[in-house]
Chain A
Amino acid sequence: MDIVYYHDPNLGYCPVKKYLSQYLGHKIIIIIDGKIRYVAENDGRPVPPISFPLVDFSFLNIHHRKDKNILIRICYFRHEDKMVLLHAFEKPDSYDTEREKRTINKEFMVAENYIKKFKLNVKLYEEYI
């Protein structure tokens, strides 16, 4: 399965590529790359504990624990023979407050919005090297 970055025309960049650029030169990038490729080798299917589906959303997400209480989530979805990396963000491992729930839900809505845009123009992507 080919891996591609979703490219947002309004932002002018690929959200996941930009997110990962903050780890330039860090070893964490190799593990994240390994997880992305492992999921792609499994046709983008959920492979716990690496990737999970999300209830109420049409995309899946790859998990990586950055530190004790911070999880990196990389949202992706499968489109034909492509695994499209949509959005990436960090979230606390456990959270209770309504405010945090709203913030995370907002991130999911961003990913959902990217899917809609991608489906309208399936050329909105950049190759994952």
Chain B
Amino acid sequence: MKNISKIDKNNIDAIAEAKKDKNFQKYSEEAKVKIKFAVEVFNKREAMSLSQKQLAEKIGTTQKIISRIENGDMCVGIGLENRIIQGLGFTSDNLSRIFNCPSSVVFFREGVKNKTFDKTFNISMQSDDGVNVELKTNTNTINK
């Protein structure tokens, strides 16, 4: 009897159990956004060679808060989120990766020739019949 209860305890799948909760999907979606935000904040901070403390001072918060954000376990209020976005210079690409929304699309006027870019474009579109189209280009020059 003792052995059986031991085996059962070892085989409990906490994640499968959590999925039975009616709010699991909602919490899971929230967690995804927090994780993506954490990755974007970390990458931008590293690219700017800032320590967590330096970033905290720049945007008027504490190192502990930045650490919690990068750990993905903190709900960030709109005010702090705005300060982070401004402080780290987030672009629409960063935001589209976090919130799964389409990033900016550049349209060219007739007559534009040999336009040069220094970045990669991610383009997401949805047609009227619900088909998702994703395009990625790192073309540096567009010739018309």
A→B interface (CB under 8 Å): 11-13, 17-18, 20-25, 27-31, 33-35, 37-38, 47-50, 63-65, 128-129
Contact = CB atoms under 8 A, between A and B. Distances in A.
Contacts, number: 89
A31 to B, nearest CB: 5
Contact of B10 (A13, A23, A50, A128): A13
Nearest to B11: A13
A8 to B, nearest CB: 10
Closest 7 CB pairs of A and B: A34-B31, A13-B10, A21-B12, A65-B71, A49-B42, A20-B14, A129-B16
Given A22-B14, A30-B31, 19 more contacts: A13-B10, A17-B12, A18-B10, A29-B14, A30-B24, A31-B31, A31-B34, A33-B18, A33-B28, A34-B31, A34-B35, A34-B72, A38-B36, A49-B39, A49-B70, A49-B71, A63-B71, A65-B67, A65-B71
Interface of B: 7, 9-19, 24, 27-28, 31-32, 34-36, 38-39, 42-43, 46, 67-68, 70-73
Contacts of A29: 14-15, 18
